[in-house]
Amino acid sequence: MSGQVLERAARASRASRVQVVRSPGGIEAWLVEDYAVPLLAVHFGWKGGAAQDPPGKPGTATLLAGLIDEGAGDLDSQAFQQALDDHAIELSFSADRDALQGRLKTLSRHAGRAFELTALAVNVARLDPEAVDRVRGQIAASLRFETNDPEHAAAKLFRTHSYPGHPYGRPVKGDLDLIATITRDDLVAIRTRLLARDNLKIAVVGAIDAETLGRELDRVFARLPARADLAPVPVVTMSNVGTRHIRTIELPQSTIRFGRQGLMRDDPDHAAAIVANHCLGAGAFTSRLYKEVREKRGLCYSVYSQNSELDRAAMFVGATSTKNERAVEAVETIRGEIDRLAAEGIGEEELTKAKQYLVGSYDLRFDTSRKIAGQLVGLQLDGYGVERLDSRNALIEAVGVEDAARAAKRMLGDGSLLITVAGKPVGL
């Protein structure tokens, strides 16, 4: 696989394997050229995403993403999908809070047709009324299912209370009561605002040379507007830390979300916070939360915490599920471990093991061409240069005991948390 080629050079330099290609029309892409297998993986994304949904119409970017490959040019939805199937081409689009992304995978012998169809989808997606109604119905069905799904309910409650009145507080997929109000004009408007050349990031991995790629980049993207028209998204810190909110659902278990303000990507202690949180809750079977909450007390099947960064916000967030009658015990145990880490820091042995895992497991993000392309476009969307491929592990390895302790204190503070629960917790 393509990843094996990149991995062989990983210890020396991942960045050295990446070519920064500029097309004749000025479209830039990161390319890892690899002919080990006749495949091509292309990931691309536009900054903006669901944070650009019009007020009162959450889910507009998600609905657009679901429609871009549902017919384009002179091909209706069925004909377009058949054209993809005829050549085993995989093309899909999705929206998250800060970006709208596309993913293309094809055999190299079908690359020409794959780029041709991608160009149609990107530039002249039809947004036919039938397709709009059908995809909207699929999203609505998903939202109805999630209404009484405890994980989604707790997460939605958490997001709403974290960022009230801010674009990050709106649901990415939309709201069941509002999705019917999204019109085709709304979809055309957000497409016009989002899909441009200046906010576009591209990564390509596989059997293609830089010159050929440059021509194909122009075919797909050169017709887009030069500049996006993005609404400003203000930097926001988490609200309601120290409060608890319950969505009552008739279930024997309570699903719990907890969190507080985190450290931004450009914070000097960001790498140390990653290491500290690995010890607390991101380290799967070795984390303190797993050992204390699951192994020692048997309160849950799984428990985790993670660092979650967006372009304009950051949070430390975690989750678990437990029996209703043990919800209070679970919350207090989690709080106790957070307080202990903030107060005592991390010992040398625990720190060393955490860093070894974080550095060693980084290779797993690069073991297929699709993963590599996803990582490369993700780095670009997050604002990093190609050198980040090498500097990431170096930053992790440089974290010392004092660094981890400082980051833990900053991240966990006094231990106060925003807590949301879906279920019928007893005594919470």
Domain count, the chain: 2
Are 88 and 37 spatial neighbours (Cβ–Cβ below 8 Å)?
A: no
Q: Are residues 168 and 260 in the same domain?
A: no
State how far the Cα of 220 lies from the Cα of 27, in Å rounded to an integer: 10
The answer to whether the CB of 1 falls within 8 A of the CB of 369 is yes
Rounded Cα–Cα distance for residues 292 and 399 (Å): 25
Residues spanned by the domain of 63:
2-221
The residue out of 181, 206, 221 marking a domain boundary is 221
Q: State whether 322 and 194 are in the same domain.
A: no
**Residue 282 and residue 203 in one domain:** no
- Look at residues 131, 128, 102 and name the one whose alpha carbon lies nearest to residue 117: 102
Sheet holding 314-323, edge to edge: 244-248, 418-423, 253-261, 314-323, 303-309
Do 76 and 116 share a domain, yes or no? yes
Both 271 and 191 in one domain: the answer is no
Q: Print pLDDT tens along the chain (428 aa).
A: 444 444 444 456 899 999 999 999 999 999 999 999 999 999 999 999 999 999 999 999 999 999 999 999 999 999 999 999 999 999 999 999 999 999 999 999 999 999 999 999 999 999 999 999 999 999 999 999 999 899 999 999 999 999 999 999 999 999 999 999 999 999 999 999 999 999 999 999 999 999 999 999 999 999 999 999 999 999 999 999 999 999 999 999 999 999 999 999 999 999 999 999 999 999 888 999 999 999 999 999 999 999 999 999 999 999 999 999 999 999 999 999 999 999 999 999 999 999 999 999 999 999 999 999 999 999 999 999 999 999 999 999 999 999 999 999 999 999 999 999 999 999 98
Q: Establish if 149 belongs to a structural domain.
A: yes
Q: Are strands 28-33 and 19-22 parallel, antiparallel or unpaired?
A: antiparallel
The 10 Å CB-count burial string (b at 16+, else e) for 62-73 is bbbbbbbbbbbb
User: Residue 150 maps to which CATH number?
Assistant: 3.30.830.10
